[in-house]
Structure 1
Amino acid sequence: MPPSHANQIIGEPFTELSSVDSTNNYAMGIVQKGAGIHGSAWFAHEQTAGKGQRGKVWKAARSENILLSVLLDTSSLPLSRQFLLSATVALAAYDFFSHHALDETRVKWPNDIYWRDRKAAGLLIENSIKGRNWQWAVAGMGVNINQAAFENMPNVVSLRQITGKTFHTVTLAKELCACLQKRFQQLQQSINNEEKEVHILEQYNAVLFKRGERVSLRKGDEVFECVIDRVDKHGLLWVQEAMQPYFQFGEVQWILNNP
């Protein structure tokens, strides 16, 4: 059974921070103090050391984008469901972004949000694990909203660039929390229910970036072509017509043509 406080609404309390090194660092600091509350959200107007996947830096203009971390109580989830949580957060970000940008929004494996061939959002999940007990997950979400120009980042896009509209970032961040609330409840309901677990994966694969298309990937020094097939519950990317049938996250890099 989920812990009682897991019924608390994601996005409450919602804390705005003028400037912080990283919202994920801030949230994890709360966890380390033993003061974690499920659903707590921290929104930063500025990050001085934002983090992306695999140690990359996430840069964003002040007050123009969503820089958000949400604390999730994962004590009812087995460690084997870590990718399902990643898929859940990705689907929440997809639900949010596609609502405003409409068609051509996709989830790029493992959990970036792309519009056409350009990155719209990046997600970073960090965990607090003791022994076999998965206690907490911090879901960091950086979404490009109002930024109109990205220096030395040609493969990036914002909601403003897509729609021509300017948005209130805090309002949209709370909307994103509501999307995550719905998807996290779906994940909790899938515990010990294989059919519901499969359904999450089906929804994820239904919006998978380049699925069924021929793409170029790089492994080490070798660039090769393959057809994207699907992602399984362990987070492995299955492909066709390649030197091996699947790849782990970090094993290959995408080769995309910049717009």
Structure 2
Amino acid sequence: MKIIKLNAIDSTNTYLKSLNKEVTLEDEVIVHAKNQLAGRGQRASTWQSNPGESLTFSVFKRIANLPAENQFLLVMLTALAVKDVLNEIKVPNVTIKWPNDILSRSKKLCGVLTENTLQNTAITSCISGIGLNVNETSFENLPAATSIRMATEKKVDIDEVFLAVVKSVLKRLRSIPVANFQKIKQEYEASLFRKNKVSTFERPSGLRFNGVITGIMDSGALLVEHESGELESFQMKEIRLLY
């Protein structure tokens, strides 16, 4: 494991992707930025972070020919790895909001962005970018955000949290050669925010409807049961969970 620490960078994922094009990266390289200026999330959103109070880093891991159709396994393993650490430090009510936001008491604590390198029909490496709120005590204009400190009412050692999450992510990713996809999927589904609860969703058109999250497909698509009993699957940009 090699850790590269930077004072400021636009995006740790972008930095690692560029570095991987310039040189042959060794396995398990982590880039940690004290200040990330243009962090990215899903749906082209940005990740806001406070230097010294939050963690922004990316983990590069070589993968032994994982079939491309199983790429959601990397998303699940990374999200579950973060959840493992949060559970260990007694963060309350930790859930995963599909596909890869980590919540505590229904408020966003962490965002994950996984990007893969493919060769033919197999994944050969992945970059898991993680933004984790650690010691913030307030968020301006972000009522749905929280931090470890706010959730636990205790200030924590940010370096200890960083190393714990890195080790947890690498442990999960190293398990890929022997990982049972369906078992991991079941663990992920059991952690899903608002699973088996009536929720309100919105389509890209703005149309809203009520439904119940029942799980995910192997592809990572979200399965929602309509009030009529009909089951429909959604890709990431095809639906938004409102409440």
Residue of structure 2 aligned with 1:108, choices 97, 102, 123: 97
Q: Deviations over 1:24-55 (max 9, x none)?
A: 11111221113312211111110111111121
Q: What's the counterpart of residue 252 of structure 1? A: 239
Q: Is 1:203 aligned with 2:187?
A: yes
**Separation in 1 of the partners of 2:138 and 2:40?**
20
How many residue pairs get aligned? The number is 240
Q: Distance in 1 between matches of 2:43 and 2:124?
A: 22
Contact 1:43 1:170 in 2 (8 A): no
1:153-172 matches, within 5 Å, as 153-172=142-161
CA shift, 1:124, in A, is 0.4
Q: Does 1:148 align with 2:137?
A: yes
Residue 5 of structure 2 corresponds to 16
Aligned residue in 2 for 1:237: 222
Shift of 1:244: 5.0
Offset at residue 236 of structure 1 (A) = 1.2
Q: 1:92 aligns with which of 81, 84, 88?
A: 81
RMSD between aligned residues: 1.5
Is the 8 Å Cα contact of residues 92 and 152 (structure 2) preserved in structure 1?
Answer: no
> Deviation of residue 75 (structure 1)?
4.0
CA contact (8 A) 2:115 2:127 kept: yes
Secondary structure of the residue aligned to 2:39 is coil
After superposing the two structures, state which structure 1 stretch, 65-74 or 130-139, moved more: 130-139
Instruction: Give the alignment partner of residue 224 of structure 1, picking from 204, 209, 231.
Output: 209
Aligned-residue identity in percent? 28
Q: Which runs of 5 or more residues in structure 1 are unaligned?
A: 1-11, 191-195
Letter matched to residue 69 of structure 1: S
1:46 is the counterpart of 2:35: yes
Q: Distance in 1 between matches of 2:44 and 2:127?
A: 16
Q: How does 1:175-186 map to 2 (within 5 A)?
A: 175-186=164-175
What one-letter code is carried by the residue in structure 1 that aligns with 2:136?
Q
Name the aligned partner's letter for residue 84 of structure 2. Answer: D
User: What TM-score, normalized by structure 2, do the two folds share?
Assistant: 0.93
TM superposition score normalised by structure 1: 0.88
Per the TM alignment, residue 133 of structure 1 is displaced from its structure 2 partner at its CA by 4.2
Structure that is richer in strand per residue: 2
